[in-house]
Amino acid sequence: MRIAVFGKQFGEVFFNACKNLFQILKENEVEVIIHKPFYDFLLANVKMKPEVDAFFSTHDEIINVDLVFSIGGDGTFLESVTYVRDKGIPIVGINSGRLGFLADISQGEMKVALRKLIEGNYRLRQLDLLQLETEGSHFGECNFALNELAISKRDSSAMITVHTYVNNEFLNSFWADGLIICTTTGSTAYSLSVGGPILHPDSKCLVITPIAPHNLNVRPIVVPRDVEVTLKVEGRDSKFLASLDSRSEVFENTVNLKVKKAEFSINVIELDGHSFFTTLRNKLMWGVDKRN
């Protein structure tokens, strides 16, 4: 087996778990390539020198890999997607922190999970992505998002108006702080925090969620995933902010943004005992109140 390891900085609480992870990989003769900045972090901060076979720094350098390990939180997982892209390599999210919907293998279950992964005892689940098209080719080759596209005001305290069309049919002009278009995966992220619905991964939908709309009768709407959504933004400022997951760019109000389902998807690992509903209960702490 050959895996690629991608990670970001993490706290001391995960130091020993990280050392154990690389020790288990070594004991099972797993070939490891590692993101060079993450390797440097391990050397300088965790005081460990993992045995690796190669380094990678770009998307093109991840070759002949069976799995990609993302060590961190959901933000790290989203960044790992920019390295995997359309290669179809399954991503394993190992949580080094607290809440994580995508990085859902906790420190306590890591040893058992690694054994299952090495034995090939897992299922694959495909996640949809969004693709953004603009006249100026914003975001370059990384014009996709696993969670969401978010349009927001940049400097002004005034609200903006986002004229929204679905398959060229006018939907609404959202007068708000911004607008989110998210996938089913992103329905438990930014969209959820501003009142959007939780969608099951198999729903095959997108959600259009306004951010703090001026009118109380404006609510999120669920649309089929195969539609094309066009956005035209206006406001007091002439420049606005577009964010694809954690990557942001400024765009002019003359730019139309077209959003649709990406032509490729991301494969993630699902182990026995892990499902969307169990993740919801654990991460949102449903059932903690014993009166329920």
Contacts with 281 (C-beta within 8 Å, 6 or more apart), sequence order = 287
Instruction: Determine which one of 53, 66, 74, 289 is catalytic.
Output: 74
Q: Are 18 and 42 in contact (CB under 8 A)?
A: yes
Closest CA to 247 of 143, 100, 114, 111: 143
Within its chain, how far is the Cα of 138 from the centroid? 19
Q: How far, in Å, CA of 191 to CA of 286, rounded?
A: 19
Q: How far, in Å, CA of 8 to CA of 61, rounded?
A: 18
Q: How far, in Å, CA of 9 to CA of 76, rounded?
A: 9
| DSSP-assigned states of every residue in 137-190 | -TTTT--EESSEEEEEE-S-SS-EEEEEEETTEEEEEEEESEEEEE-TGGGGTH
What sign results for the dihedral spanned by CA atoms 224, 229, 233, 239? Answer: positive
User: Is-catalytic flag, 177?
Assistant: no
Catalytic residues: 74
